[in-house]
Amino acid sequence: MTFFIGLFLLFAGIEDSTSTEPTPVSRTFRSTQIINQRSVDQLYEKTLEFRMGHRFGDSYTGLKDLFGIDLGASVYFGLDYAISDDFMGGFSRLGGAGALKTYEIHTQYKLISQKVEDGSPVTLSLYGEADFATAKGQEQTHLMLMPLIARKWSKEISTQISPFYIQRLENKDSYNGAQPIYGANLALNYVITKKVGLILEWSPVFNRDDMNGNSLVKYKYNSISAGVNLEISGHTFQLVASNTQHISTIGSLLGTNADYTGRHFYLGFNITRLYSFESQY
């Protein structure tokens, strides 16, 4: 009996030692949300995430309007659910200043995971979204495709580049034509402590002149945002400053008329909360 037990342990040890399955990298951005854009981080299977965002008004007047708190704000509510570890989808609603009573639906699928040892050097996910602005007289629809390409360089530093293609559909009044829009989102995450990190985001549009020539709203500047990411027991809380008041993915990519260099920016926050439907018994 001792002999057979010894053989079992021997072969079990050999199998473990020769295993070459690479370990996937996790928590690249420590949140599914960067600031206004999505990260490659995804929910685990059978988990639900409630998302909320809020941006106050222009902080240009300083204490007079309490850095925008006294002015019109924009708000965002959404839910995401993970069907598997690699596929999730959700919807959201945007309201308030400039949000045009917009509804969004989106999906995200992870194609490749970065590996700790040998294997893929990046994580690649495919993100798709459609939004529908329903405010009377300003109805419009956008369709977007965005590959998310991220790398976690160390425990402290992660980066992501996300080229995007947005197709605008004409609304009933032909205010917005079908001119496509393309550009990229660049993001950086720097972890300071176990629970605190800094996040940066910049979204240049490559054909802004063409876009403005066929749009009701003429945008001058690309969106740029900065924030602090805090992790608190199942919650992610972000304090942010951005030159766009749009919280939606597509809305913030289109651009803004607020110039950061002229002290025009919007303070706000994002909150996410996770719920698991996996049985604990």
Backbone angles phi, psi at 262, to 5 degrees: -95, 15
Which H or E element spans position 54? strand 47-58
Average pLDDT over residues 146-164: 96
Confidence tier at 231 by pLDDT (50, 70, 90): confident
* H or E element in which residue 14 lies: helix 2-17
Phi first, then psi, for residue 155 (nearest 5°) are -65, -25
Distance from C-alpha of 11 to C-alpha of 260, rounded to nearest angstrom: 64
**Confidence band, pLDDT 50/70/90 cuts, at residue 20:** low
- Let me know: does 225 contact 241? Beta carbons within 8 Å: yes
pLDDT computed for residue 227 by the predictor = 95
CA atoms of 86 and 64, how far apart (whole Å): 48
Q: Which two tokens stand for residue 94?
A: 């945007």
Q: Above 50 in pLDDT, residue 4?
A: no
User: Tokens in use for 235?
Assistant: 């919650």
CA distances from 63 to 58, 60, 71, 244 (A): 12, 9, 12, 20
Q: What is the mean pLDDT of residues 173-177?
A: 57
| Residue 280 pLDDT > 60 | no
What is the C-alpha to C-alpha distance for residues 33 and 36, in angstroms, rounded to an integer? 7
Judge whether residue 211 has pLDDT over 60. Answer: yes
d(CA 179, CA 172): 15
pLDDT tens-digit series, residues 184-210: 999 999 999 988 999 999 999 999 888
**pLDDT higher than threshold 90 for residue 100:** no
Rounded to whole angstroms, the Cα distance separating 94 from 78 reads 9
pLDDT surpasses 90 at 122: yes
From CA 150, how far away is CA 129, in angstroms rounded?
19
**Among candidates 224, 265, 257, 204, which has minimal Cα distance to 34?**
224
Q: What is the mean pLDDT of the chain?
A: 85
Domain locations in the chain as residue ranges: 23-276
The residue count of the chain comes to 281
The pLDDT score that the predictor gives to residue 57 is 85
The pTM of the full predicted model, rounded to 2 decimals, is 0.85
| Average pLDDT of span 28-38 | 92
Local structure of residue 20 (DSSP, 8 states): -
Rounded to 5°, angle at Cα 114 from 112 and 117: 130
Residue 214 has pLDDT above 70, yes or no: no
User: Which of 9-13, 112-116, 149-153, 228-232 has the lowest average pLDDT?
Assistant: 9-13
Q: Which of 4-18, 30-44, 217-231, 249-263 is predicted least confidently?
A: 4-18
What is the pLDDT averaged over residues 95-106?
A: 84
Q: How many helices (H) and strands (E) does the chain have?
A: 3, 12
Provide the CATH number for the domain formed by 23-276 in this structure: 2.40.160.40
pLDDT in tens, 38-62: 999 999 999 999 999 999 988 887 7
How deeply is 21 buried, as exposed, middle or buried, from its count of CB atoms within 10 A (0-12, 13-18, 19+)?
exposed
Residues 6+ apart with CB under 8 A from 2: none
Rounded CA separation 23/25 (Å): 7
